[in-house]
A and B are shown apart, each in its own frame.
Chain A
Amino acid sequence: MSSTFNVVTSQEYKYGFVTDIEADSAAPGLSEDTIRFISAKKGEPDWLLEFRLKAYRHWLTMAEPDWAKVNYARPDFQAIVYYSAPKQKTPKYASMDEVDPELKRTFEKLGVPINEQAALAGVAVDVVFDSVSVTTTYKEKLATVGIIFCSFSEAVREHPELIKRYLGSVVPSSDNFYAALNSAVFTDGSFVFIPKGVTCPMDLSTYFRINNKDSGQFERTLIVAEEGASVSYLEGCTAPQFDTNQLHAAVVELVALDRASIKYSTVQNWYAGDKNGLGGIYNFVTKRGLCKGVASRISWTQVETGSAITWKYPSCILLGDESIGEFYSVALTNHKQQADTGTKMVHIGRNTKSTIISKGISAGDSSNSYRGLVKVQPKAEGARNFSQCDSMLIGQSCSASTFPYIEVQNRSARVEHEATTSKIGEEQLFYFQQRGIPAEEAISMIINGFCKDVFRELPMEFAVEATKLLSLKLEGSVG
């Protein structure tokens, strides 16, 4: 019966090209000097250098975590280039015309609406290329309603008081091994500030791209939504194809004040390595949102299809009374990919609610794990959680695991967790084929049905992309 599901080569990685741009890089290796170099290169104030050094000194005392269900060669932290920037005459472009045409072509290939045509897409984009933010579109338009959307470096220069107040307030620099590393060496990223009562008029978006073979990418995203504000933020990622592993260790911090709402969507398609597991990105990311205010809401939606190794747990700290945390995830692994991903929902305030919907699809020789924590603290009267974790296995040599941790210290809490595992049945396929739908298309439809609860949380254009991406990734998985 297994003969129907022979896993063969899937679609080759579409974004695997390298852009030949002169880069301004630091020498490989990590020391306090590297950090001083990065900080000086970016013209940072002393307090930020101190923040970095403190994080670095703490990092030195920490051990790389080994509890996740992933196996990989530990990165050599001295072989990584911690700063790599496309060489440019002036730090920022005055207009789109000044951008290196080679770079523009890269983003055109990626389909990022970086130029003025973005108006059609209606998406404001911040593009991060290796280590530095290249350009931000729509800044002026957003500024008229008081929204700040710029690269992290620019925010440090223009809005130091905001950065100082919120940087590390959700993910402290000592939080975990990779967050500490990021805090020490982060190079750029995005900053979003939505002032009181403002609903962001368009979706904001960042595109991350690793281009340099030896570089790691350590970006930092900080989103603050003041009282009553709301924003939807999209993040996409790609990298060229190399046969070495590259490290991506990002930190994302979200802060939502009273009645604010932040929706954070990711389509992660870092290079996953070839079918024998050679190369690919190590995606070790710390993402956490703080629902600080009353009735605030943070929603994470992720479609994880890339990376050789994924270690990622977008979380919500539900501090404000009546705050809401949501996590919607589709994680697909194929070939030798390994993903250990999930979420943490920490209920602290009264009447807080959280929802977790996780769909894992494993094919080939891959390993796909859901790991999640739902914690109800003693004072979280009336907390409510619902979790559903479904796995689908395609082929006989992949694996799917579920590790939900549930810790309840308040009796008024209601916590429910459900998980199921299934496969695409021969009968289901037969039914489709009987009605004239070929197997390949049938699989794609079944998978889309399986992921529907997550896809409908994605903004429109991402949902379309995600659907296409899943089909591409599984192409040829069924023979």
Chain B
Amino acid sequence: MTSMVVGSNLLVDLLSGPRPAEWASLREAAEGRLEGRDLPTTKDEAWKYTDLKALAAIPFGAAPRATVDISAYLLPEMVGTRQVFVNGHHAPHASCASAVPAGVRFLPLSTASEACHALGSVKNGLTPELFEDLNSARFEDGAVILVPKNLKVALPLHLLFLTRADAPVAVFPRVLVVLEPGAELELVEEHLGEGTYLSCPVVEVRIGEGAILRHERVQRESPEAFHIGTLKAEVGRHGQYHSRTLSFGARFSRQHPWVRLAEGAEGTLDGLALLDDQQVADTHSFMHHAEPNAVSHQLHKCIVDGKARAIFNGQVRVAPGAQGTDAKQQSRNLLLSETARVDTKPQLEIYADDVKCSHGAAVGQLDPEELFYLESRGLNADDARNLLTYGFAADVLQRVPVASVRRALRQLVMARTQAASLGVLA
């Protein structure tokens, strides 16, 4: 019971600040839904495996503006196509959009006009999650990306969200991405930070007919941080949305990706989580085949060490009439310690008969035969184990299209799996 009291305080505290000026109706609607609501508990089916008690116990305040040296975070391909946000506020000194091609809008929300950019318009027919509503009620800033018809953007765009706080703060980054028909874009979205904070980003994506978005999402929050993100993507006819979420940081992270596929569209929701110590990473995904002949792929991998916990709840729904659907979903989990834990629940809900759907889930440790094979070729037991662990993750990483991101992530994974000494990349 005590947690409930603390929980309601948390919501009240987070909402007690002044309501930012723009997007009043979106904020009012969200506040209305939040009224009288409490943090979910493990009695709620959707939160069965994730306990928010630790979150409820922390008094989060508003995040102050700050200046940060971001030179360490620059990505060579995107030096001139970056927008940086520090503690939820746009950081003009750190951002640079000089290489963004003409016609593409890549702006901070604070300088965008409400009339042009309808936030909250990507609707999935479900009541928004509490944390999505919190974002709608209190977001300060974020980014708007708009790519006009048939424009294929050559350079990837970089969105960097940095949070740095001495006392616990809460930030609510907001992103809207609109691709007009035939447009193409690569987007890298990164979340980094130091200290104790709560980050609740909401990303809305609308992809027009035949447009293609490749979306890399890297979560490297501080080890004390909480990250609860929502992604809503609506993909038009024959459009494509390919996203990959790579979770390394945060003591607690949860992702809510939701994708709706129109006729002939293609969707990918890949994920990799590398967890150690007391980390918890939870993914609740929803792939909605709303119309016929759409294709979806999902490969979600977790490597769990220490006392960490990975949770995956992946739902695939094939709506009535969505004939010719081809949906694949895989949840693969590697347990590296005695005390690690995995809870996975891949779900299929099918309301059409002419479909090809499959899902699979596997939880286990490294294959003794594979270990033996490597040992028989002269690797010692530790190296063999590290190499196989790295290989398990590399499968997801090698598909990252942006070279510098791919390299950085590989190095990160190698360091975490202690495979660096093997010179895999040499």
Name B341-374 residues within 8 Å CB distance of A. 341-365
Distance of B48 from chain A, by nearest CB (Å) = 9
Rounded to whole angstroms, the CA-CA distance of A391 and B321 in the bound complex is 17
Against B, the Cβ 8 Å flags (1 = close, 0 = not) of A387-400 are: 00001011111111
Which residues of the partner chain A approach B345 to less than 8 Å between Cβ atoms? 403-406
Contact flags (1/0) for B316-354 with A, using CB distance below 8 Å?
Answer: 000011010000000001011111111111111111111
**Chain B contacts of A408 at CB under 8 A?**
333, 335, 341-343, 363
* Nearest Cβ on chain B to A402's Cβ, whole angstroms: 4
Contact B361 A421 (CB under 8 A): no
Interchain CB contact under 8 A, B348 and A400: yes
Which segment of A214-222, A224-232, A286-294, A409-417 sits at the interface? A409-417
Known A-B contacts A406-B361, A412-B365; the reply to A423 vs B337 at CB < 8 A is: no
Q: Using Cβ atoms and an 8 Å threshold, which residues of chain A touch B358?
A: 418-421
Q: Complex Cα distance A391/B355, Å?
A: 11
In the complex, what's the smallest C-beta–C-beta distance from A420 to chain B, in angstroms?
5
Judged by a CB distance under 8 angstroms, whether A120 is at the interface is no
Residue on B with the closest CB to A412? B365
Expressed in whole angstroms, the minimum distance between the Cβ of A408 and any Cβ of chain B is 4
Q: Is B35 an interface residue (CB 8 A)?
A: no
| List of B residues within 8 angstroms of A393 by Cβ | 350, 352-353, 355
**Interface SS of A by simple majority:** strand
The answer to the question of B69 belonging to the interface, with a C-beta cut-off of 8 Å to chain A, is: no
Q: Which of A414, A419, A422 contacts B363 (CB 8 A)?
A: A414
CB distance A418 to B360 under 8 Å? yes
Tell yes or no: B45 within 8 A of A by CB.
yes
Whether A73 sits at the interface, judged by CB under 8 Å, is: no
Decide: A423 and B361 in contact? CB cutoff 8 A: no
A411 to B355, Cβ gap below 8 A?
A: no
Chain B positions within 8 Å of A410 at CB level:
335, 338
Smallest Cβ-Cβ distance to A399: which chain B residue = B351
Chain A neighbourhood of B360, CB < 8 A = 416-419
Bound Cα distance from A402 to B357, whole angstroms: 11
Closest to B359 in A: A419
Give the interface centre of A411, A412, A415 by most chain B CB atoms within 10 Å: A411
CB distance from A376 to the nearest CB of B (A): 8
- Residues of B167-217 contacting chain A, CB below 8 A: none
Question: Could you say which residues of chain B place their CB within 8 Å of the CB of A421?
Answer: 348, 350, 355-358
A174 smallest CB distance to B (angstroms)? 18
Q: Does A15 belong to the interface (CB within 8 Å)?
A: no
- Alpha-carbon gap, A418 to B353, bound state (A): 19
Smallest CB-CB separation from B316: which chain A residue? A402
User: How many residues on chain A are close to B (CB under 8 Å)?
Assistant: 38
Contact between chains at B347 and A401 (CB < 8 Å)? yes
Are B342 and A406 in contact, CB atoms less than 8 angstroms apart?
A: yes
Q: How far is the CB of B236 from chain A (nearest CB, A)?
A: 24
| A67 at interface, CB cutoff 8 A | yes
Assuming the A-B contacts A408-B335, A411-B340, A421-B356, are A396 and B320 also in contact, with contact meaning beta carbons closer than 8 angstroms in the complex? yes
The residue on B at minimum CB distance from A390 is B358
Q: Give which listed residue, A399, A402, A411, contacts B347 with CB less than 8 A.
A: A402
CB-nearest residue of chain A to B344:
A406
Query: Chain A nearest CB: distance from B382 CB in Å?
Result: 16
CA distance A440 to B321 in the complex (A): 25
- The docked-state distance in angstroms from the alpha carbon of A399 to that of B351 is 4
**Chain A residues within 8 Å of B337, by CB:** 411
Residue numbers in B under 8 Å from A391 (CB-CB): 348, 350
What chain B residues lie within 8 Å of A67 (beta carbons)? 45
Interchain CB contact under 8 A, A397 and B320:
yes
Q: Does A407 contact B (CB under 8 A)?
A: yes
Q: A396-B320, A405-B345, A408-B333 are in contact. Are A416 and B354 (CB under 8 A)?
A: no
Smallest Cβ-Cβ distance to A368: which chain B residue: B350
Contact between A417 and B346 (Cβ–Cβ < 8 Å)?
A: yes
Q: A413 to chain B: which residues have CB within 8 Å?
A: 335, 363-364
Shortest CB–CB separation between residue A399 and chain B, in angstroms?
A: 4
With both beta carbons as reference points, the residue of chain A lying nearest to B310 in the complex is identified as: A408
Name the residue in B339, B348, B354 with the highest tally of chain A Cβ atoms < 10 Å from its Cβ: B348
- Assembly CA distance A395 to B341 (angstroms): 40
Q: Are B362 and A411 in contact (CB under 8 A)?
A: no
* CB-defined contacts of A404 to chain B, threshold 8 Å: 345-347, 361
How far apart are the CA atoms of A393 and B352 in the complex, in Å? 8
Question: B336 — which chain A residues lie within 8 A by C-beta?
Answer: 411
A400 contacts B45, C-beta separation under 8 Å = no
Q: Is the CB–CB distance between B342 and A401 below 8 Å? A: no
Decide if A5 is an interface residue (CB 8 Å cutoff).
Answer: yes
Given B348, B351, B352, which contacts A402 in the complex, CB threshold below 8 Å?
Answer: B348
Pairwise interchain contact B365-A411, C-beta atoms closer than 8 A: yes
Residue A60 at the B interface, CB < 8 A? no
Chain B's closest residue to A371 (CB) is B347
Find out whether the CB atom of B355 lies under 8 angstroms from the CB atom of A416. no
Complex CA–CA separation, A397 to B347 (angstroms): 19
A94 interface residue per 8 A CB criterion: no
Cα of A305 to Cα of B413 in the assembled complex, Å: 51
Which residues does chain A contribute within 8 Å of B45, judged by CB atoms?
67
- Cβ of A460 < 8 Å from any Cβ of B? no
Known contacts A1-B354, A408-B333; A401 and B349 CB within 8 A of each other? yes
Chain A minimum-CB-distance residue to B353: A393
A391 to B351, CA, bound (A): 12
Please name all residues of chain B whose beta carbon is closer than 8 Å to the beta carbon of A407 when the two chains form the complex.
49, 341-343
CA distance A360 to B246 in the complex (A): 35
Residues of A within 8 A of B342 (CB): 406-408
Write out the residue numbers on chain B whose beta carbons fall within 8 Å of the beta carbon of A397.
320
With both chains docked as a complex, state the minimum distance between the C-beta of A394 and any C-beta of chain B, in angstroms. 7
Task: Give A384's nearest chain B residue, CB to CB.
Answer: B364
In angstroms, Cα B327 to Cα A402, docked, is: 14
Name B363-402 residues within 8 Å CB distance of A: 363-365
Provided the pairs A408-B342, A420-B358 are in contact, do residues A395 and B363 lie with their beta carbons within 8 angstroms? no
Task: Please report which residues of chain A, range 314-359, place their CB below 8 angstroms from some CB of chain B when the two chains form the complex.
Answer: none
Closest to B45 in A: A67
The 4 closest A-B pairs by CB, nearest first: A411-B335, A393-B353, A421-B357, A417-B361
Query: Mind listing 11 A-B residue pairs with CB under 8 Å?
Result: A395-B353, A399-B351, A404-B361, A407-B341, A408-B342, A408-B363, A413-B364, A416-B362, A417-B362, A419-B360, A421-B357
B interface residues with partner A (beta carbon < 8 Å):
45, 49, 320-321, 323, 333, 335-365
| Additional pairs, 12, CB under 8 Å, beyond known A404-B345, A417-B360 | A2-B353, A376-B363, A395-B353, A398-B351, A404-B361, A406-B345, A408-B333, A408-B341, A411-B338, A413-B364, A414-B364, A415-B363
